[in-house]
Structure 1
Amino acid sequence: MTRMWLPFPESNENNAEHIVIFAKILIPGRGDPIPNAAVGILIKDGSISYVGSQSKLPQALQSTLPTNVSYLLPGLWDCHTHFAGTLQAEFSAFVETHPAACGAAVTRGFYDTLMAGFTSVRDVGSFAIEAYSAVKAGLILGPTVFGSGGAIGITGGSCDGVKLPPDWMYGRQGVQHQNQWPGISTLVLADGVDECRRAVRLQIRRGASCIKVVTTGGVMSTADNPEYRQYSDAELKAIIDEATLQGRSVAAHAHGKAGIMASIKLGARTIEHGSYLDEEAAELMREKGVTLVSTRHIVEAGLNRLDHMPPETSAKMVAVAEKHLNAYQIAVRTGVKIALGTDICSSDPKENISHGNNGHELVWAVKKAGMTPLGAIEAATANSAETLGLQAPKKGIIKEGWDADMIALDVNPLENIEVLAKPDNIKYVWQGGKQVKSPQASHWPPPISKTNGWSGTDKHACVGCQISGL
Structure 2
Amino acid sequence: MRLPDLPQGPPRVTLLAGALVFDPETGDTERADVRLDGARIAEVGPGLDGDGRVDCSGGLLLPGLIDCHVHVAFPRHEPLPRSARILEAVPVLHGLLARGITTVRDAWGADAGVKHALREGWIDGPDLLVSLRQLSPTGGLGDSWDPPAGTVDHYGDPSLPDPLFDGPDAARAAVRRMVRAGADWIKVGASGALRAMREGTDVRPTDDELAALVDEARRAGRDVLAHAHTAAAVVSAARAGARSIEHGTFLDDDAVTALANAWYVPTLSPISDSEFAETHRRSVRLAAEAGVPIAAGSDLAPRPHVDLTTELRLLAAVLGDAAALKAATSEAARLLRLEHDRGRLAAGLRADVVLLDGTDLDVTDLPGRIRAVWHDGKRVGAG
Q: Distance in 2 between matches of 1:167 and 1:393?
A: 47
1:114 deviation in Å?
A: 0.9
Q: Please name the residue that 2:23 is paired with.
A: 28
1:332 deviation in Å?
A: 1.7
Q: Distance in 1 between matches of 2:336 and 2:40?
A: 20
Whichever residue aligns with residue 197 of structure 1, its letter is: R
Matched ranges for 1:355-394 at <5 A: 357-367=307-317, 369=318, 371-389=319-337, 394=341
Whichever residue aligns with residue 67 of structure 2, its letter is: D
Identity %: 29
Secondary structure class of the residue paired with 1:198: helix
Q: Distance in 2 between matches of 1:116 and 1:17?
A: 22
Which residue of 67, 72, 95 corresponds with 2:54? Answer: 67
Whichever residue aligns with residue 101 of structure 1, its letter is: A
Q: Please name the residue that 1:215 is paired with.
A: 190
Secondary structure class of the residue paired with 1:275: strand
Q: Structure 1 residues 248 and 298, CA, compared in 2 at 3 Å: closer, same or farther?
A: same
Which residue of 113, 128, 131 corresponds with 1:145? Answer: 128
Q: Structure 1 residues 16 and 145, CA, compared in 2 at 3 Å: closer, same or farther?
A: closer
Q: Please name the residue that 1:257 is paired with.
A: 231
1:154 deviation in Å?
A: 2.0
Higher helix share: 1
Q: Structure 1 residues 254 and 71, CA, compared in 2 at 3 Å: closer, same or farther?
A: same
Cα deviation digits, residues 227-270 of structure 1 (max 9, x gap) = x5610111111110011112211111111111111111110111
2:374 is the alignment partner of 1:402: no
Q: Give the number of equivalent residue pairs.
A: 373
Whichever residue aligns with residue 243 of structure 2, its letter is: R
Q: Please name the residue that 1:184 is paired with.
A: 160
Secondary structure class of the residue paired with 2:187: strand
Q: Distance in 1 between matches of 2:157 and 2:126?
A: 29
Q: Please name the residue that 2:263 is paired with.
A: 291
Q: Distance in 2 between matches of 1:118 and 1:239?
A: 30
Q: Distance in 1 between matches of 2:243 and 2:52?
A: 43
2:90 is the alignment partner of 1:107: yes
Q: Please name the residue that 2:46 is paired with.
A: 53
Cα deviation digits, residues 82-119 of structure 1 (max 9, x gap) = 11244x5xxx45xx654311011000110111111111
2:127 is the alignment partner of 1:155: no
Cα deviation digits, residues 48-88 of structure 1 (max 9, x gap) = 1101222xx2xxxx2414212211000111111111244x5
Cα deviation digits, residues 179-237 of structure 1 (max 9, x gap) = 872x716x8222222221122112222222211100112125698659x5610111111
Secondary structure class of the residue paired with 1:24: strand
Q: Structure 1 residues 36 and 326, CA, compared in 2 at 3 Å: closer, same or farther?
A: closer
Structure with higher Rg: it is 1
Q: Please name the residue that 2:247 is paired with.
A: 273
Q: Please name the residue that 2:99 is paired with.
A: 116
Q: Please name the residue that 1:176 is paired with.
A: none
Contact 2:136 2:163 in 1 (8 A): yes
Considering only aligned residues, what root-mean-square deviation do their CA atoms show, in Å? Answer: 2.6
1:33 deviation in Å?
A: 3.2
Q: Distance in 2 between matches of 1:265 and 1:210?
A: 18
Q: Distance in 1 between matches of 2:234 and 2:196?
A: 19
2:32 is the alignment partner of 1:37: yes
- Structure 2 gap segments, 5+ residues each: 1-8
Which residue of 427, 434, 439 corresponds with 2:378? Answer: 434
Q: Structure 1 residues 222 and 292, CA, compared in 2 at 3 Å: closer, same or farther?
A: closer
- Structure 1 gap segments, 5+ residues each: 1-11, 174-178, 304-316, 437-441, 447-470
Contact 2:31 2:46 in 1 (8 A): yes
1:165 deviation in Å?
A: 7.0
Q: Please name the residue that 1:195 is paired with.
A: 170
1:143 deviation in Å?
A: 0.7
